[in-house]
Amino acid sequence: MQRKPQPELLDSLPPHHPDALHNRRDIHLTNRIMGNHRWLLRTLPPLLRPGDAALELGAGTGELAFGLQAAGLAIDALDLWPPPEHWPAAHAWHRSDLRAFPYYGRYAVVFGNLIFHQFTDDELAELGARLRSSARHIVACEPARWRKSQWLYRLLGPLFGANQVSLHDAHVSIGAGFIGEELPHLLGLDPAEWTWQCATTSWGAYHMVASRRA
């Protein structure tokens, strides 16, 4: 099916709205089932040299960043939302639109979990122009654009308590996801300057690791 980014209901809710809180619980469970955080915890450390820092795009509640920091990684965050309680002072929380953020050059690795799919093709091209001029590695964990995943979430989501926000946003997110080598191409990565690996798991996760050529 054709990629079709659409607005997500969560984006219209304040951070502490009950439906937003319930949705974050559903996203936490989805990440566990898909193994997203585990994959990032395996993937990021080999990409970071001593003294390097990584930046998480769309850090949300900080759950992923906290876990990576606990594993000893230097992780800063970027999000439109304010930082969560107990965010460590040693790590920057940048409250900014990622399409206008001016400091990507500070980070060797820029990564996102379930964030790139929220943008149109044109917006991804704009973001890619910023990232490819500065970052050494770009890492993404996204939904694979599979119609069967939409059907499964619609069927199984209510069984584990997913609310209407989660049911709507999951359908939209999967429909805006990626297959094959779409994401590196949408980011405008030049194969003469970048290498990348893209893979899809049986649980419907789309993984991309892109690295600048030496």
* pLDDT tens, position by position, 104-132: 999 999 999 999 999 999 999 999 999 99
The DSSP-derived string for 84-134 is PTT--TTS-EEES-TTT-S-GGG-SEEEEES-GGGS-HHHHHHHHHHHTTT
What is the distance between the alpha carbons of residues 31 and 108, in angstroms, rounded to a whole number?
25
Q: Quick one: CATH architecture of 9-212? A: 3-Layer(aba) Sandwich (3.40)
Say which DSSP state 60 is in. T
pTM for this model (two decimals): 0.95
Residue from 13, 14, 30, 25 nearest 173 by CA? 30
H or E element at residue 3: none
List the single range of 38-42, 58-62, 114-118 with lowest mean pLDDT. Answer: 58-62
Give the whole-angstrom CA distance, residue 53 versus residue 188: 24
> What is the overall mean pLDDT for the chain?
95
Per DSSP, the three-state class of 49 is: coil
Dump the DSSP string for 168-197: HHHHHHHHT-B-TTHHHHHTT--TTTEEEE
Assess whether pLDDT exceeds 90 at residue 48. yes
